[in-house]
Amino acid sequence: MKKKSIEFPSPSVISVNDIKLEVFEAGKENQGKPVVLCHGFPETAYSWRFQIPELVKAGYHILIPNQRGYGNSSCPEEVTKYDIEHLTGDLVGLLDHYGYKNALFIGHDWGANVIWNLGLLHPERVKKIINLALPYQVRGEKPWIEWMEEIFGGDNYFVHFNRQQGVADEILGKKNSNFLRNLFRKNVPISPLEPGMLMINLANAENPLGDPLMSESELAVYISAFKTSGFTGSINWYRNLDRNWHLMSEVNPIIPHPTLMIYGEKDMIPKLKNLTDFVPNADVVSIDCGHCIQQEKPEETNKVILEWLRQQSS
């Protein structure tokens, strides 16, 4: 079925947590039922375009920030300004700005990671959680990048972003259009990674695998956003993984909130088999798609989300 054209809201710029956040708002008439949607990398608030009409119709007040480092939101120069305390603090500040004690949070990819940690660091500000693609990340015995380097080697893009700072930022910036066009694909066969850094390989690839995930006009929204922000701010989220590992050392790892975890069956990210050990009130659903779940299968995603919310309220 062809995806309907969506009119995306106009943004407001608000001051929170010592920065400016670009926020897209819909459903103001539904004050009192807030939903905050958090995008991943390299996405923007626009990744939630298909969810907005259905959530508004269901009676929710929608708030979608371009998180720090993205779009017209602030891009601080200092790397540590992108640690998990700052990223979750931005969401707390967002709630405070709109006068909400707590909210339903929906996240994809890196946005999901921020929401998992929001549930740990500020549990009173979270009502329910719906996360897509990235399950809860269990804190191991070694810092994340050190562990990844041992397991996956220096070519792993998480490791490369940290060990060769500035290299990927420049290449992705120069090849912005090609990188995003080659990244946002569907029906990509699952195969072993080729040698080299995944993100740079995508930026340089002439013949990407699979099919385009979105139209040229939709893709242009992302290309324009990253021409504005560049990639350094968003990559700096990765450069705080070890710092985050230390910051979370004394935090209770259990998330008690009602939670829905949505996986893409063809996603390269593995499922967490013992999710309920850490998120005891989690329900799990899988959709037959790749990583960009809410953009590849918007109708199925909306149906799963709304049905779960109906069950929660019954």
Residue among 83, 109, 169, 267 flagged as catalytic:
109
Assess contact for 50 and 298: CB atoms under 8 A: yes
Burial of 252 (0-12, 13-18, 19+ CB in 10 A): exposed
Q: What would the two tokens of residue 266 be?
A: 């063809």
Known active-site residue 83: no
DSSP state, residue 264: E
Assess contact for 244 and 84: CB atoms under 8 A: yes
Of 235, 30, 244, the C-alpha closest to 118 is 244
- CA-to-CA separations, 129 to 137, 194, 214, 264, in angstroms, rounded: 15, 35, 27, 17
Residue among 61, 86, 108, 291 flagged as catalytic:
291
Known active-site residue 109: yes
Query: Which of 81-84's residues contact partners 24+ apart within 8 Å by CB, and which partners?
Result: 81/236, 82/233, 82/236, 82/237, 82/239, 82/240, 83/240, 83/243, 83/244, 83/247, 84/114, 84/117, 84/121, 84/240, 84/244, 84/247, 84/248
Bridge partner list, 23: 12, 65
Query: Rounded to the nearest 10 degrees, how much is the dihedral formed by the CA atoms of 144, 147, 151, 155?
Result: 60
Q: Given the structure tokens 């992705």, which residue do they identify?
A: 172
Residues with a catalytic annotation lie at: 109, 291
